[in-house]
Amino acid sequence: MDANKKMIIFSVVGVILFIAAVAAASFAFYTSTTKTEGDGASFETTTKKISSSLKDDNAINITNMIPGDSFEKTFTLTNDGETEFTYKIILSDYTNNFTKPDDLVYTLTTDDKVSTGTFTKTEDSPTEFELSKETETIGVGETKTYTLKIEYKNTEIDQKDDMGKTISGKLYYR
């Protein structure tokens, strides 16, 4: 009886090994006969050809600004590329240490669009400030002229805490 048990165990193990070998061979056959077109390891993609420039010829350097003062800056954005693209006008490297940043009001004007707001500090993007409220589109060969007006509002509230404070940034688009 012991010999019969060993024979049954060896038979079961043999059948299991046979099934495993057939499954492995079938899997190898299916995977080895898979075809790919080309060399199978390369792909091709193209990107838009975008060439643009932001011209800012009028540097602004204002000292001793007092409540009620304002100034304007005019700049242009030109699309020299081969496709239109979308963008927003932002201030990069943005710093604002005014204690009452709502006293600084801006108006960004181009063609028929006007974007207004205050330089309220944000925690989301402390080094960038979006001047454009909406995404703009510029066509191929198109030039857009912008005027940025910044005003330091004269309020009835004491503003001496902001004496000597600064706001700065570089005009940029993305």
Exposed, middle or buried, 76 (CB in 10 Å: 0-12/13-18/19+)?
middle
- pLDDT tens-digit series, residues 129-140: 899 989 999 999
Arithmetic mean of pLDDT, 50-79: 75
Instruction: Please say whether the beta carbons of 63 and 98 come within 8 A.
Output: no
pLDDT of residue 169: 84
Q: Report the pLDDT value the prediction gives residue 56, as an integer from 0 to 100.
A: 62
List the domains of the chain with CATH numbers.
52-173 (2.60.40)
Sign of the CA dihedral running 123, 124, 126, 128: negative
Q: What percent of the chain has pLDDT over 90?
A: 25
pLDDT of residue 26: 45
Place of tokens 């004496």: 163
* Cβ count within 10 A of residue 115: 19
The pLDDT mean for the chain works out to 75
Question: Residues 48-76: what's their mean pLDDT?
Answer: 72
- Asked if residue 135 lies in contact with residue 55, where contact means CB atoms within 8 angstroms, the answer is no
Tell me phi and psi for residue 130, to 5 degrees.
Answer: -80, 120
- pLDDT of 74 > 80? The answer is yes
pLDDT in tens, 14-25: 555 555 544 444
pLDDT in tens, 108-128: 999 889 999 998 876 776 788
